[in-house]
Structures are given as structure tokens and as C-alpha cells.
Amino acid sequence: MFAPLEKRANVLEDRLHDMNGHICEKYGIKNEDEEMVESMDGVVVKSEEKEGKIGTWTPVNVPKQHKVLCMGRICNEAHEGRLNRASIRLEDTKAQTNGSRIALDLQGINSSKQSYSLFPGQIVAVEGVNSSGRTMQASRLMDGAAPPTELMGAEELLDYHHGAKGQDGNPLSIVSMCGPFTTKDNLDYDPLLDAVVRMMEDKPDVVILCGPFVDVRHPLIKGDNGTGATVVDDNGKRMAVSHECLFASKISTLLEDMYQNDPQLKTQIVLVPSVDDAFLDAVYPQPPMEDLTGDVPASIPREVAAKFGDLGLKYVELAGREELPKNERQQRVHCVSNPCTLQINDVTIGVTSTDVLFHISSDECNANLAPGTRLTRIAQHLIQQRSYYPLFPAAKGASLDLSKAKQWEMPIQPDILIVPSKLASFARSVAESTIVVNPGELTKNTTGGTYAVMDVHPMKRELLESGMKKADGGMMGKGVQDRLRVDIKRI
């Protein structure tokens, strides 16, 4: 909101320029200047290279009587309302055409039964005829370029999958849950309590908890006037507590009790904040959560410390191992940013707690999609656009800090992409090597919801040992999509 208009425009220009470069690299596209330089240098293009070449990149405002290829950002001509076939515009870079826009006529694509899915902010390449310089009769769409996939050495994979300090031949168990964690009629957090009981029984390796933990939309959370949350004590008395105190007493205490009851529990907890958390700044991207008061002396009661912003996470780290020296305590709770890309053993996981699937679906225009593939196509946009939030302008209520736009870019194609949403929960393969998982919400109004259990099975030892003998050190793809089982369970 406070970013100057010029700075916002520069960020959008830089992203459009970067994505244009990635699309050119993927599809072998060159601009007219590069074509001219090659012809002057006497470069001869082989016939097989000509067949694989898509075309020449042409600015959107240059009329041509033959088929051309233009690249730019999808925009909505109308200032309000959903994107539709009549309002689709393609915007070029400021450096190339001073930000010129042309209309896209998709009749040719529709008549050929090609499927497409477009939304504002999407950066694409379009092939077609632009005879007037104002409207392009599109015949083909190329919707972005996925980031590179990660390769790993066979020896490193062998240590992860079959090493005594790794998985030792067992599957890697990951659980993903998304808030809200309590029902709309109370602040008892009973669904989360049931989830903690299951965690103690199943003992997963990692549990990823995505906010909101203290949902600002909850009827009993009065965030507008700053009075905090309204809770009812054991005597039936209503009282107001701070949002940090509610987190400490409901979330941190449950996790602390879990480790206190089973000090040998090896489960790691990952906490992902949400823009709907009442005690955090509602700006995307978000930094990791932390105890605002730092190290509180043990002499101060935790309920007093919570009033000053302490989240009680340090008590979770201490639970069941108070006697151990500090240097022997393995970290249990990992606070990460929203969004984030993290690695668990060899598995790369991308996570964002913002409901980007719902935001895109509310402003998307599509045609000729196979039945049941719409959510898959929307999820694939995140990979193809290399972004955890490619929609622009952002959905109503989503506050983007464009000065931090680099923080929601996708540096590498994740093996698993966790995108919690109020839409139907699912787990599907997209972009060849990524499994997108929507675990759903742990609560649905006054009832329990769903969560996801992911088991990543190890590669065969024989395959890894043979890979170690190769001259390149056994660099190989991880193939997580072929080793992953995802179950969507109800709480």
C-alpha cells in the first residue's frame, strides 16, 4: 500500500522481463534483433533446428500480415469483474513498447478445441496473426516455463534412504495440516487436540502446520478493536486474552504436552504463518513467527510472558528434556516464512498458506478443459509461472508487498507443493515431476475437516549403488512422484 507507483511498476517490469527470458529459453524463441545479428554473422540454421523453432518474438504493437509470436502479461480490460474472453488483453514490457496492450481473439483456439486457462498477471507467449497492431487472432498459447528440477548424487541419496542416520530403508512420513484449528462456535481447539493424539500414535517424521492458528475471522476473535480473543474459563466466566496468549495456551501447550508425554518422540514440527493470523502482520510475504519478547527469564510465569508477546515455543523445545545440555537438544520446532521452499532429506517441498488456488479460480477464464482437471490446471500455473502468487492484481484482501516480490518466487521446481485451500482437497501430479497437495482445512465451520498424510518411499539400494559407479558421480533425478503415496484423511 505504501510502495510508490514507480517502484511497483519496476517490479512488474522486472518480472515480465525475467519470465520472457525463461519462456524464450524453453521454446527456443528469438527476437528480431537476434535474428538480424545471426543473418549478418552468416549463421546457418539447420533444417532440424528450424523445425523445432517456434517463431520470432515480435512486439505487440507492431502490425504484421503473417503469423508472429508475442509475449506479455495477461490483463483484464475491465477494472472490475472477472476476466472473460472479451476483456483479455496482452501487455508488453515498458522497455519494448512502453507497456502497450492488444486484445486477444481466442476464437481460433476455441475452434481447434485447444484447452487454455488464463488469469490476470499470467505471463505467456501467444502465436497468431496481429495484422492491425491492436488485436491478435491467437492460434496457440504457451503458458510459462517451469523452474529447473533438482538433481542429486547417488551417494547422497543412498545416505538419506538407507543410511543408519537417515531413513534406514523406511518411508519418510510427512503430515500436512492447515488452519483454522478450532471450530466456529468455540476456542477449545478440539480438532487440533485430536490431531495431536493421532500424531502421538502414528509418530510421523515431520508435521507441517499452516496457519491461521488464531484466525482473525473467528467470531470470538475481536481483532478490529484490539481487545483480543474472548474465551470462557472452567467457571463459565467470559474473559479477553491477547492473541499471543491464545496461541501460547492452545497451540504451544498442546505441542509441549505431546513431547512431555513422549520425550523420545522424533517428530519435527514446521510452523507456517498466515495472513489471517490475528497476531501477525497481514502482508504477503510473511517472515517466520518468533517469540516477540526473546528469552524470557524462567522466574516470569508463562501466562504473564504471553501478555507481552511470548508465543511459548521455547517451552516446546524444552519439554521432556529439561535435564539435557542445550548443545544436545535437537531442534524440534522450525518456524518458516510464508511462502517457503524447504528440504526434508532429499525431498524439496514448497509451501504457502495463502489460498492462491481460490484466488486464481475466482478470476480465471478457461475453455476446453477435460472434466475434473480445472484445479490441476490452476495448481500447475504456480509451477509454470515460477511463483507462489502469480495473480496480479491480487485478490481482494490479499496485501502484497511488491518490494519483496522476489520472496514469493519459486527458486526450484518442488517435488511436493502444499497449497491449502477451501476448495476441494486433492493430490495430483503436475508439470511432470511435482505432486500438488491441497490438504484442506482441519475444521469446517462447526465440524472437523481434512489433512494430508504423505509417505515418500526410498529408492532401491541396487539402483543407487549402480548409479554411484557412473563417471558423473551418479547425478540423477529423485523421482519423488513415483515414490509418493498421499492420503487425504478426515479428523
Whole-number pLDDT of residue 372: 87
Map residue 427 onto helix, strand or coil. Answer: strand
**How far is Cα 285 from Cα 354, in angstroms, rounded to an integer?**
9
Whole-number pLDDT of residue 46: 43
Whole-number pLDDT of residue 176: 98
CATH 3.40.50.300 holds for 151-354+398-490 = no
Q: Which fold has domain 5-142?
A: OB fold (Dihydrolipoamide Acetyltransferase, E2P) (2.40.50)
Whole-number pLDDT of residue 470: 81
Whole-number pLDDT of residue 306: 65
pTM of the model: 0.92
Each domain of the chain, given as residue ranges in start order, spans 5-142, 151-354+398-490
| φ, ψ (nearest 5 deg) of residue 138 | -75, 140
**How far is Cα 431 from Cα 411, in angstroms, rounded to an integer?**
15
Q: Is 81 exposed, middle or buried (0-12, 13-18, 19+ CB in 10 A)?
A: exposed
pLDDT, one tens digit per residue, over 235-276 is 677 777 888 889 998 999 999 999 999 999 999 999 999 999
pLDDT, one tens digit per residue, over 133-164 is 999 999 999 989 999 999 999 999 999 999 99
Q: Which residues of the chain have pLDDT under 50?
A: 42-53, 293
Whole-number pLDDT of residue 298: 59
Which of 484, 434, 451 is CA-nearest to residue 202? 451
Residue 140: what residue type?
R
Whole-number pLDDT of residue 296: 58
Burial 46-73 (b: 16+ CB within 10 A, else e): eeeeeeeebbbbbbbbeebeeebbbbbb
H helices within 248-347, ranges in order? Answer: 253-261, 302-306, 313-318
Quote the cell numbers at residue 9: 511498476
